Structure 1
Amino acid sequence: MNGELPKGWVWTSLGEIALKLRSGGTPLKKMNEYYENGTIPFVKIEDITSSHKFLYKAATYITKEGLDNSSSWIVPENSLLYSMYASYGMPIINKIEVATNQAIIAFIPPKGLIELDYIYYYLLSIRQSLKSKIRGTTQENLNAKIVSNIQIPLPPLAEQQRIVSKIEELFTNLDKGVESINSVKYKLKIYRQAILKYAMEGKLTEKWREKNKNKIESASILLEKIKEKSINKNLKLMPIDLSTLSEIPNNWEWVRLGTVMDMTSGKAFKKIEYSNGGLKLLQITNVSFGRIKWDNIEYLPFDYGLLNENLLLKAGDILMALNRPILNGELKIGMVKEKDLPSILYQRVGRFDLFYKEIKDYIYFYCHSPFFINKLKNSLQGVDQPFINKPRLLEITVPLPPLEEQNIIVERIEQLFSLADYIEETVNSKLEQSKTLRQSILKKAFEGKLVPQDPNDEPAEILLEKIKKQRLNKEKIVQEKLV
């Protein structure tokens, strides 16, 4: 790691350049007087991950009594907080006095000798390599010793300041580009929602319908075919009040989901039953926005499929998260593909069991539309963890077009979406390039290649001596106070 550095730079460690480097602690949670009416911001990992470069507030506050009865301490403003557990390796500069828990270590810089932003950007630059290094050991988190020993290329103070200035200039330009890209992504989201809205109102096929008005079989005939195959013949659904619904073409029908489908929820298999291979267990975490993802995979032995045949999944199955199904206006729903098999359904994931398979693609697109998402949102129960149950789901209304028109609708949505998908791939590629460019800027900065060196700058070796002297003076003052 200790590569060749420009003249005037030195390799040092975080511990060597800190006036103080110490983690915090947590007051006993059962003691209300440690938290109630607290005025001291108490920083935890989630406060760091939910902020950017600077921290101005905390979600939790503690009292002076809580502080005095724990290993937490007051970290002065303009220090650097560094996460050691969970989302470890995240730096942030606190702009207010805070206390922290034991998952965070605070770096107090020596006065006037270190550009704190330089340390911030350096720690940010090594985060991924640090995580890779930790994963290759038995160590699960960072600790004070590891953090103290982090090696840092230290330039003269004036050069630290020039480097920070250049990094921020370049990052500001990148941020403007990212802002434009995110604007495009937002517009694509609005575009897709508009297409789905027009489709479900019959406007996307208005000209086609007029041209083929004498050839189209009414949706009422399709509905009869669906009812013949229904397994919900005894299901009592509420009558539909057409006055509360939007207008649809004359040959369409308003129906409830329970008329065209049933819903199967998975089983709560126990962890002790999991295996190293076999059937993929499709859990709620595997259902994303418009796709099935396998970032985390658990397995069950193949013979569980024989015991739970009704829970085995097939290509084309529509799956929806039943807990927290909507996030930021988007629905956690996906369609199973061949590459997702063999897999079996876990609890709190709902499978749409359509009585008439030919309407599958139309129903899937309808579920992505603002109409369905709004109806689902109004049907959710619970506050902290909103969920949908089967009876409420099956009561949601659906505009049902004739089958031939459904096929045309699906075809046109796919055509229009393919254009949006192409544009989104392009902008996502630009975002990745932006991330790569940021890392490249940081890499050059800490190799001494981002700004020119000035031979008149005071060498970093002298800087280290000054830091050491300031730390010793501080320790001497502390010792004198204890006497």
Structure 2
Amino acid sequence: MKRSFPEHWVLTELGNILYLKNGYSFKSTDYCEEGIPLVRISDIQDGRINLDTTVKVPNRLLKSDFIIENGDLLIAMSGATTGKFGIYIGNETILQNQRVGNLKLYSKSLVSTKYRDYLIASLRDIIQKSAYGGAQPNISPEKIHKLIIPLPPLNEQKRIVAKLDAILPKVKSARDRLEKIPAILKKFRQSVLAAACSGRLTEDWREEYAQHTGKELPEWEEKKIFELTEKVENLNVKNINLHDKFLYIDISSINNIKNTIETHKEYSYYEAPSRAKQIIKHGDVLFSNVRVYLKNIAIVDNPVYNDQICSTGFTVLRAQKNKLLNKYLFYSLIRDDFIKEVSELQVGSSYPAIKKDDLISRFIPLPPLEEQHEIVRRVEKLFALADSIEEKYKKAHERLEKLEQAILAKAFRGELVEPDPNDEPAEELLKRILEEKAKLEREQRGKNRKK
């Protein structure tokens, strides 16, 4: 079997060079405004520890065994972001909360700290895969310690780090530039919608229309939504077989990034949720009344949902076809300006929602029907352009992720730097590390006996 690392390196368990230390279970009732910053999983952000988001605990709760030191590498050990890493850069005294792991070297003089950081980054996918093996994502220190890793001589570790320090910042710089694209596209789409609903998008078209037809289009109007939509009927249980089944759309069915219906549930009328009362038609616009700033808004664009049921958590808007295009209505509603306006009408603090009557009493700009068709056509064309750019962004982002992992893999196969025959052999280095490990474990056993 071909070796995947140089002859002068050694393979060993990760637990022979470091240990994963869990944090302390501080009580949330002890959190306060002033005191010692406490690092929780949510404070591990973008490869760093963000002290701006930490809570604090009183100075009297200082636990010296759980102080995080400058250069410590922390990992989320459970939850939705299990496996994310962050390095603490700073000298402020901060504490480590439970389920935040600290990957501590047995000897910083025998293993390069930055070699450890890059090594763990190269093992990211393996660590995350092992964490997601059970019902709940969870990192096991035992599994981490058992991972087999390559150990080069100490001086070679330093040369590898120097090489990676020269290469990876360029990858990060490219990624940082790339990460600006989603925000730019979001702003572009909103600019398109603002132009569409103000008349700027079709200003040239109106002039061409007048020249070609010899007629001036009617002026735009401001109309309340209820003046442009039909009444939606509710379910009448007297007219149905309770054992019949239907498709049910609730707020969780909406993808509020794409503003599309992604999923549905199936029920019999007998077991239907109490909110399953509104009959929907193909082409309806669903507008979530709850936390409207989340933009759970979508068109019923799949015919399979015709005459199916949606939650009363939506206002169902059915355009009067002789006055309003459903897609124009949809584009009017997902504008940031409109969302901001209706958000101010929400009532309730824990469950903020807008009343249906308040929503349908809002004004929207109404162009002539012919112009609505042209607006929809142009918006769809521009959105398709944005979508194609977004797809290219995703592919480029994926390529950069693979490039970084490929560079790390090359580094830990010993292909990035040349060996130096004058370096201390890795076998001798490992012996010294294991001696340090045994010494620290003896000291820890002594501390435990004194407690």
**Counterpart among 397, 400, 417 of residue 431 in structure 1:** 397
**1:199-247 CA-partner distances (Å, limit 9, x unpaired):** 21212222332344564674xxxxxxxxxxxxxxxxxxxxxxxxxxxxx
Letter in 1 for 2:300: V
Q: Which residue of 2 aligns with 1:230?
A: none
Aligned mates of 1:314, 1:117 — CA distance in 2: 59
**C-alpha contact (below 8 Å) 2:206/2:217 kept by paired residues:** no
Letter in 1 for 2:118: Y
- 1:108 counterpart = 2:104: yes
Q: Which residue of 1 aligns with 2:287?
A: 320
**C-alpha contact (below 8 Å) 2:292/2:339 kept by paired residues:** no
Q: Which residue of 2 aligns with 1:8?
A: 8
**Counterpart among 58, 70, 82 of residue 77 in structure 1:** 70
- 1:290 counterpart = 2:258: yes
Provide the secondary structure at the position in 2 that maps to 1:142.
coil
Aligned mates of 2:203, 2:283 — CA distance in 1: 28
Q: Which residue of 2 aligns with 1:90?
A: 84
Aligned mates of 1:206, 1:64 — CA distance in 2: 65
- 1:27 counterpart = 2:26: yes
Deviation at 1:353, TM superposition (A): 3.3
Deviation at 1:254, TM superposition (A): 0.6
Provide the secondary structure at the position in 1 that maps to 2:429.
helix
Deviation at 1:407, TM superposition (A): 0.8
**1:312-338 CA-partner distances (Å, limit 9, x unpaired):** 5544332334444336xxx44332332
Letter in 2 for 1:146: K
Provide structure 2 residue ranges, at least 5 long, that are not aligned to the other structure. Answer: 236-244
Aligned mates of 2:432, 2:417 — CA distance in 1: 24
**Counterpart among 54, 71, 82 of residue 59 in structure 1:** 54
Letter in 1 for 2:205: W
Deviation at 1:119, TM superposition (A): 2.2
Output the TM-score relative to the length of structure 2. 0.81
Deviation at 1:339, TM superposition (A): 8.3
Deviation at 1:293, TM superposition (A): 6.0
Q: Which residue of 1 aligns with 2:226?
A: 258
Letter in 2 for 1:352: L
Provide the secondary structure at the position in 2 that maps to 1:443.
helix
Deviation at 1:184, TM superposition (A): 4.5
**C-alpha contact (below 8 Å) 2:254/2:297 kept by paired residues:** no
- 1:446 counterpart = 2:439: no
Q: Which residue of 2 aligns with 1:127?
A: 124
Aligned mates of 1:116, 1:458 — CA distance in 2: 18
Deviation at 1:79, TM superposition (A): 1.8
Deviation at 1:256, TM superposition (A): 1.9
Relative to structure 1, the CA distance from residue 389 to residue 103 in structure 2 (aligned partners, 3 Å threshold; closer, same or farther) is farther
**1:347-396 CA-partner distances (Å, limit 9, x unpaired):** 64443333448520111112233432332344344567654332332232
Relative to structure 1, the CA distance from residue 374 to residue 211 in structure 2 (aligned partners, 3 Å threshold; closer, same or farther) is same
**1:298-322 CA-partner distances (Å, limit 9, x unpaired):** 7333556999885455443323344
- 1:336 counterpart = 2:300: yes
**C-alpha contact (below 8 Å) 1:258/1:394 kept by paired residues:** yes
**Counterpart among 310, 319, 332 of residue 345 in structure 1:** 310
Provide the secondary structure at the position in 2 that maps to 1:379.
coil
Provide the secondary structure at the position in 1 that maps to 2:222.
strand
**1:112-135 CA-partner distances (Å, limit 9, x unpaired):** 122222222332333333333444
Moved more, 39-48 or 364-373: 364-373
Letter in 2 for 1:289: I
Letter in 2 for 1:156: P
Relative to structure 1, the CA distance from residue 390 to residue 10 in structure 2 (aligned partners, 3 Å threshold; closer, same or farther) is farther
Aligned mates of 1:293, 1:22 — CA distance in 2: 44
Aligned mates of 1:44, 1:262 — CA distance in 2: 51
Q: Which residue of 2 aligns with 1:462?
A: 428
Provide the secondary structure at the position in 2 that maps to 1:301.
strand
Deviation at 1:45, TM superposition (A): 1.1
Aligned-residue CA RMSD (Å) = 3.7
Alignment of 1:407-426 (within 5 A): 407-426=373-392
**C-alpha contact (below 8 Å) 1:280/1:299 kept by paired residues:** yes
Q: Which residue of 2 aligns with 1:244?
A: none
Deviation at 1:450, TM superposition (A): 2.7
**C-alpha contact (below 8 Å) 1:73/1:99 kept by paired residues:** yes
Deviation at 1:479, TM superposition (A): 6.5
Deviation at 1:475, TM superposition (A): 4.7
Deviation at 1:42, TM superposition (A): 1.3
Aligned mates of 1:51, 1:139 — CA distance in 2: 23
Aligned mates of 1:298, 1:417 — CA distance in 2: 26
- 1:43 counterpart = 2:39: yes
Relative to structure 1, the CA distance from residue 359 to residue 478 in structure 2 (aligned partners, 3 Å threshold; closer, same or farther) is closer
Aligned mates of 2:314, 2:300 — CA distance in 1: 13
Q: Which residue of 1 aligns with 2:360?
A: 394
Aligned residues: 430
Deviation at 1:399, TM superposition (A): 0.5
**Counterpart among 179, 182, 193 of residue 176 in structure 2:** 179
Aligned mates of 1:311, 1:29 — CA distance in 2: 42
Moved more, 455-464 or 394-403: 455-464
Deviation at 1:252, TM superposition (A): 1.4
Aligned mates of 2:232, 2:61 — CA distance in 1: 49
**Counterpart among 141, 144, 151 of residue 141 in structure 2:** 144
- 1:194 counterpart = 2:187: no
Aligned mates of 1:145, 1:350 — CA distance in 2: 52
**C-alpha contact (below 8 Å) 1:262/1:353 kept by paired residues:** yes
**1:406-456 CA-partner distances (Å, limit 9, x unpaired):** 111111222233333333322332222112212222222222223333333
Provide the secondary structure at the position in 2 that maps to 1:201.
coil
**C-alpha contact (below 8 Å) 2:47/2:87 kept by paired residues:** no
Relative to structure 1, the CA distance from residue 345 to residue 427 in structure 2 (aligned partners, 3 Å threshold; closer, same or farther) is same
Letter in 1 for 2:123: I
Provide structure 1 residue ranges, at least 5 long, that are not aligned to the other structure. Answer: 219-250, 268-276
**C-alpha contact (below 8 Å) 1:266/1:311 kept by paired residues:** yes
Moved more, 202-211 or 299-308: 299-308
**Counterpart among 164, 167, 171 of residue 167 in structure 1:** 164
- 1:299 counterpart = 2:292: no
**C-alpha contact (below 8 Å) 2:246/2:268 kept by paired residues:** yes
**C-alpha contact (below 8 Å) 1:42/1:59 kept by paired residues:** yes
